[in-house]
Amino acid sequence: MLPHWLSWLALVFLAFALYFFRDPERVPPPRPGLLLAPADGKVVSLAPAAPPPELGLGPAPRWRVGIFLSVLDVHVNRIPADGTVTRIAYRHGAFVSANLDKASADNERNALAIRLPDGREIAVVQIAGLIARRILCYVREGDAVRAGARFGESR
């Protein structure tokens, strides 16, 4: 028979696992032309930056929104706009804390290029961290995607 305290500890771990892996429904605004946040979390940077070179989008800086996901945030990633996935590039890397500046350059990541209906291309990058080290991507090159749809997660 398990000690009473061990049962409570197991229950706490179970509750945290259910909380961490939650996947609530999201309803995107019906207005065309919006770019939605691809993840829940805290916006930690908003600045021009070159897209990942492995996507082949060129070196010209584009606006980058950096979102940090703590262990308390939903770790499901969503498509920011209607379009077509034109390229997916996975890169091995380190697992430093995702809230550090060097994480976007050094950490393991998965990048998507999405062509919008007006011909513009955007990049969406999933970056692993110190705790959430596994990146899952559910879309493939050539897939037509809708704003707000799930495309992956980090665990």
Name the domain count of the chain: 1
Q: What is the 3-state secondary structure (H, E, C) of 70-132?
A: CCCCCCEEECCCCEEEEEEEEECCECCCCCCCCHHHHECEEEEEEECCCCCEEEEEEECCCCC
149 belongs to a structural domain:
yes
8 belongs to a structural domain:
no
Question: Mean pLDDT across the stretch 83-96?
Answer: 94
pLDDT at 90: 96
Residue 71: give the domain boundaries.
36-154
Tell me the pLDDT of the chain averaged across its residues: 91
94 belongs to a structural domain:
yes
124 belongs to a structural domain:
yes
Q: How confident is the model at residue 79 (pLDDT cuts 50, 70, 90)?
A: very high
110 belongs to a structural domain:
yes
Strand order from edge to edge, sheet including 109-115: 121-127, 109-115, 83-91, 144-145
Residue 100 has pLDDT above 80, yes or no: no
65 belongs to a structural domain:
yes
Question: Mean pLDDT across the stretch 3-13?
Answer: 87
Question: Mean pLDDT across the stretch 120-125?
Answer: 96
17 belongs to a structural domain:
no
pLDDT at 30: 86
4 belongs to a structural domain:
no
pLDDT at 2: 67
